Amino acid sequence: MNLLRIAIQKSGRLSEKSIELISEAGISFNNSDRKLLTQSANFPIELLFLRDDDIPQYVADGVADIGIVGENVILEKKSHVKVAEKLGFAKCRMSLAIPKSVDYPGNSYFNNKKIATTYPRILGAFLKENNINAEIHEISGSVEIAPGIGLADGIFDIVSSGSTLISNGLKEAEVVMKSEAVIISDPNLSKEKQQILDKLLFRIRAVQKAKCNKYVVLNAPKSNVDKIVQIIPGMKSPTVVPLADDGWVSVHSVLKENEFWEVIDQLKDCGAQGILVIPIEKMII
Interacting residue ranges for Zn ion, rule: CB under 5 A: 52-53
Task: Report the candidate in 246, 256, 247 with the shortest Cα–Cα distance to residue 277.
Answer: 256
Q: 66 to each of 36, 166, 190, how far by Cα in Å?
A: 16, 37, 12
- Which residues in 11-30 contact ligand PRT (CB under 6 A)? 12-14
- Which entry of ligand PRT, Zn ion, none binds 90, CB below 5 to 8 A by partner kind? ligand PRT
Give whichever of 101 and 163 is closer to ligand PRT, judged by the CB atom.
163
The span from the CA of 214 to the CA of 198, in Å, is: 25
Q: Does 117 help bind ligand PRT (rule: CB under 6 A)?
A: no
Residues 6 or more apart in contact with residue 86 via CB below 8 angstroms: 180, 181, 182
The span from the CA of 200 to the CA of 44, in Å, is: 10
Q: How many residues does the chain have?
A: 285
Task: Report the candidate in 40, 31, 26 with the shortest Cα–Cα distance to residue 11.
Answer: 31
The only residue of 16, 20, 28, 51 in contact with ligand PRT, by rule CB under 6 A: 51
- Which residues in 63-102 contact ligand PRT (CB under 6 A)? 70, 72-73, 90, 92
- Residue 253 near residue 232 (C-beta atoms within 8 A): yes
- Which residues in 146-165 contact ligand PRT (CB under 6 A)? 157-164
Q: Does 53 help bind ligand PRT (rule: CB under 6 A)?
A: yes
- Which residues in 242-271 contact ligand PRT (CB under 6 A)? none
Q: Does 176 help bind ligand PRT (rule: CB under 6 A)?
A: no
Give whichever of 29 and 89 is closer to ligand PRT, judged by the CB atom.
89
3-state SS assignment for residue 35:
coil
Give whichever of 10 and 205 is closer to Zn ion, judged by the CB atom.
10
Kindly list the residues in this chain that would bind ligand PRT in the complex (CB under 6 A): 9, 12-14, 51-53, 70, 72-73, 90, 92, 157-164, 179
